[in-house]
Amino acid sequence: MALQPIPNAWRRKVAGILRRGTSSEIRRTADYSDKLDKSFPDVFESRVTAAFLQFLEGPNPQGCPVQMDRPAGETWEFWFTLKGKQTYGKILLRTDQQRIVLFSAHLPQKDKLRCE
């Protein structure tokens, strides 16, 4: 397999939720927070959000769809740039398309994504 274009509809929904930034719409897992803090101890969440948005709204963002048991929704993993470093990201858009779960934003622990 190879990296796949991330669907425009998914990108627009996720970007809109990230821009609003309300706690009722965005859930950050404990693992997300722990690994982000270990990878980038001095980064503010606003900078992570800006990096996610730059990737999602950039030309031809690609990644891998990820099957997850829960919560229900559509998940993508991808490489994006944070503080000049390649960073692993994983975001789930819930089935209601009104909420997201941030699973990952940290330095790579593997050389490749699932579909590479």
Residue 3 has pLDDT above 90, yes or no: yes
Average pLDDT across the chain, whole number: 97
Q: How far apart are CA 116 and CA 111, in angstroms?
A: 9
Within a domain: residue 93? Answer: yes
Alpha carbons 4 and 11: distance in angstroms, whole number:
13
Query: Would you state the pLDDT for residue 69?
Result: 86
Number of CB atoms found within 10 A of residue 17's CB: 19
Decide if 96 is inside a domain: yes
Q: Is residue 43 part of a domain?
A: yes
State the chain's maximal CA–CA distance in angstroms. Answer: 36
Q: How many structural domains is the chain composed of?
A: 1
The domain in which residue 57 lies consists of 4-106
Instruction: Write down the pLDDT at residue 24.
Output: 95
Identify whether 113 is part of a domain.
no
Any domain includes 115? no
As a whole number, mean pLDDT of residues 22-38 equals 96
